[in-house]
A and B are shown apart, each in its own frame.
Chain A
Amino acid sequence: DAKTTQPPSMDCAEGRAANLPCNHSTISGNEYVYWYRQIHSQGPQYIIHGLKNNETNEMASLIITEDRKSSTLILPHATLRDTAVYYCIVPDRGSTLGRLYFGRGTQLTVWP
């Protein structure tokens, strides 16, 4: 299964773009990259996922490098409510469908 590496913490000023990096250098050709976030004490929340093309939805944008070895989650206008732990995940396809392993993620702090 592909492993991911994220910085343990980042901060960002309110209203500015938050760019959260993730390395997944052992990703296979058919493995997707998923992003979730967890606001304190709550269950994780799905944000976005992608395979090779850049993706955008109402919450964020996902930029995947051409070699697919890294990606960046972009929150275009961060707010205080975006303070959370952000997880970059590549599902384990070696055994069965749907097993997502969450690491420690990146603690994003948005300050006023």
Chain B
Amino acid sequence: NAGVTQTPKFQVLKTGQSMTLQCAQDMNHEYMSWYRQDPGMGLRLIHYSVGAGITDQGEVPNGYNVSRSTTEDFPLRLLSAAPSQTSVYFCASSPLQGANEKLFFGSGTQLSVL
């Protein structure tokens, strides 16, 4: 059971480049989300999805796009990378079962924008 898989683990971009961070889960979870974590900071919610075809913004959505065409996948797109987007990105999933919001996290993607 792979759980939540994020790719790539590391990425270096130049300012203005675009890229997609991949996230896949094999637990048939309805809820998926993306967080970013900057040095010395907690996690901040970027976007989340409560099911295929449904997405919504979190705390810090600017500069990022998401889509949810399948239950398994929730890619995060950086349209035009900026140095301020240098961070570690975590994807998470959870079954929607009432108040049970136990999140399963991936191992993260470390992104540097030069």
Contact yes or no, A98 B108, CB < 8 A: no
Interface of A is mostly: loop
Q: Kindly identify which residue among A30, A98, A104 contacts B101, using a CB–CB cutoff of 8 Å.
A: A98
* Smallest beta-carbon distance B49→chain A, Å: 10
- Chain B residues with CB under 8 A of A96: 50, 56
* Smallest beta-carbon distance B92→chain A, Å: 8
Interface residues on B, range: 20 to 34
- Chain A residues with CB under 8 A of B58: 99
Contact yes or no, A97 B101, CB < 8 A: yes
Closest-by-CB residue of A relative to B31 is: A98
Contact yes or no, B101 A101, CB < 8 A: no
Task: Please report the C-alpha to C-alpha distance between residue A91 and residue B92 in the assembled complex, in whole angstroms.
Answer: 15
Contact yes or no, B96 A98, CB < 8 A: yes
Q: Is residue A100 contacting chain B, with contact meaning CB distance below 8 A?
A: yes
Q: Kindly identify which residue among B33, B42, B45, B102 contacts A105, using a CB–CB cutoff of 8 Å.
A: B42
Known contacts A32-B99, A43-B90, A103-B42; is-contact A98 B48 (Cβ 8 Å): yes
Task: Spell out A's residues near B (CB within 8 Å).
Answer: 30, 32, 34, 36, 41-46, 49, 51, 87, 91, 96-105
Task: Spell out B's residues near A (CB within 8 Å).
Answer: 4, 31, 33, 35, 40-45, 48, 50, 56, 58-59, 88, 90, 92, 94, 96, 99, 101-108
